[in-house]
Amino acid sequence: MTKNKIIIGSRESALAVLQSEMVKSFLNKEHPELHTEILTMKTTGDKILDRTLDKIGGKGLFVKELDLALIEKRSDISVHSLKDMPMEVPSELPLLAFSKREDPRDVLVLPKGADHLDKSKPLGCSSLRRTLQLKELYPDMEVKSIRGNLQTRLRKLDEGEYAGLILAAAGLKRLGLENRISRYFTVEEMLPAAGQGILAVQGRAEEDYSCLEGYCDREAWICGTAERAYVKYLDGGCSSPVAAYGELHGDTLLLRGLYYREEDGTYIKGQLEGDPLRAEELGITLAKRLKESMEKGESS
């Protein structure tokens, strides 16, 4: 990394570039002497759109090309949606900072001009985590997989393929599309993905990243760490609908989790409070507790 230039690696979708621009703006404001550029690339996960993520290899497909650019020093940092990051991060490419969290909730988006769900059409949804929880919220509706960037999904919705889409509020808000949101799901109704609404900045080990000082949000780091520890313990990637969401209330971290047993399709939700300074430990403790409860037959 040269002392006066930083190249930011990013996926090439409009949302990914916008998120990288947010980090670029921070660097420009705090370090006007730095020249910053965004290097965009299409990841394997962006190229394969005809199959669900669990069929093609999970979350790692969204970071492989960005990781390689970092290793080859074509970029200096990468900006990711934390929820798209694999739980195992190479030690040579550490996570450096988490952004302040945007709205973590999932939302319902209806076709343009619609004011109710057309139950003769399916709900569009890209994750097993959402699909599982939608069965309780809309038991009489079909849920169908949808892939592609946000604009592609919205176009398919507006062309009449789906009754509605389930999306992350964060992406819509960042792109100025908040007016498309028809309903917000509470975190009790639809537990978010670990890291949802948080941006992660990744870099190379042993480089000087003092230019990022002040970017990392303490609350996001604590909650994101707990959520990822929970999911990692349960070995939940894109192919498993494990979910976790943390909230800081003063000196207490409240962590909610969902554990799903693939063998019989049952799942359980639970929560635990603890010390924010022991976020990782709290995540593992809740994961163990829910797994043990499930094994005793205490499913929801």
In a domain, 190, yes or no: no
Q: Mean pLDDT in the chain?
A: 90
> Could you tell me if 211 and 264 are in contact, meaning their C-beta atoms sit under 8 angstroms apart?
no
Least confident of 123-132, 174-183, 198-207: 123-132
Mean pLDDT value across residues 137-154: 92
CA distance linking residue 177 with residue 91, whole number of Å: 37
What is residue 239's predicted lDDT score, i.e. its pLDDT? Answer: 57
pLDDT, tens digit, for every residue of 48-96?
Answer: 444 444 444 445 556 788 999 999 999 999 999 999 888 989 999 999 9
pLDDT, tens digit, for every residue of 276-300?
Answer: 999 999 999 999 999 999 888 765 4
User: Is residue 264 annotated as a catalytic residue, yes or no?
Assistant: no
- Residues 28, 44: one domain? yes
Record the pTM. 0.90
In a domain, 133, yes or no: yes
Secondary structure of the chain in HEC code, one letter for each residue:
CCCCEEEEEEECCHHHHHHHHHHHHHHHHHCCCCEEEEEEECCHHHHCCCCCHHHHCHHHHHCHHHHHHHHCCCCCEEEEEHHHCCCCCCCCCCEEEECCCCCCCEEEECCCCCCCCCCCCCEEECCHHHHHHHHHHCCCCCEEECCCCHHHHHHHHHCCCCCEEEEEHHHHHHCCCHHHEEEECCCCCCCCCCCCCCEEEECCCCCCCHHHCCCCCHHHHHHHHHHHHHHHHCCCCCCCCCEEEEEEECCEEEEEEEEEECCCCEEEEEEEEECHHHHHHHHHHHHHHHHHHHHCCCCC
What is residue 236's predicted lDDT score, i.e. its pLDDT? Answer: 57
What is residue 255's predicted lDDT score, i.e. its pLDDT? Answer: 98
In a domain, 25, yes or no: yes
Phi, psi of 7 (to 5 degrees): -105, 125
CA distance linking residue 54 with residue 60, whole number of Å: 11
Q: Which of 84, 158, 251, 264 is catalytic?
A: 84
CA distance linking residue 285 with residue 262, whole number of Å: 21
**What percentage of the chain carries pLDDT values higher than 70?**
90
- Residues 119, 167: one domain? yes
What is residue 241's predicted lDDT score, i.e. its pLDDT? Answer: 81
What is residue 51's predicted lDDT score, i.e. its pLDDT? Answer: 47
pLDDT, tens digit, for every residue of 198-207?
Answer: 999 999 999 9
- Residues 73, 162: one domain? no
- Residues 123, 62: one domain? no
> Could you tell me if 280 and 233 are in contact, meaning their C-beta atoms sit under 8 angstroms apart?
no
- Residues 255, 281: one domain? yes
- Residues 233, 292: one domain? yes
- Residues 139, 77: one domain? no
What residue type is assigned to position 122 of the chain? P
- Residues 131, 41: one domain? no
In a domain, 193, yes or no: no
CA distances from 82 to 62, 141, 174, 191, 277 (A): 11, 30, 15, 16, 20
- Residues 222, 207: one domain? no
What is residue 261's predicted lDDT score, i.e. its pLDDT? Answer: 83
- Strands 123-125, 143-145: parallel, antiparallel or unpaired by DSSP? parallel
- Residues 203, 226: one domain? no
> Could you tell me if 250 and 260 are in contact, meaning their C-beta atoms sit under 8 angstroms apart?
no
> Containing domain of residue 122, as a range?
106-184
CA distances from 197 to 24, 107, 193, 225, 266 (A): 18, 13, 9, 14, 27
Give the chain's domain count: 3
What is residue 56's predicted lDDT score, i.e. its pLDDT? Answer: 40
What is residue 238's predicted lDDT score, i.e. its pLDDT? Answer: 47
Least confident of 26-30, 48-52, 198-202, 228-232: 48-52
CA distance linking residue 125 with residue 107, whole number of Å: 11
Adjacency order of strands within the sheet including 252-261: 243-249, 252-261, 266-274
Candidates 252, 259, 206; CA nearest to 236 is 259
Q: How sure is the predictor about 126, in pLDDT bands with cuts at 50, 70 and 90?
A: confident
> Could you tell me if 108 and 118 are in contact, meaning their C-beta atoms sit under 8 angstroms apart?
no
- Residues 58, 10: one domain? yes
CA distance linking residue 52 with residue 127, whole number of Å: 8
In a domain, 191, yes or no: no
What residue type is assigned to position 28 of the chain? N
Mean pLDDT value across residues 219-228: 98
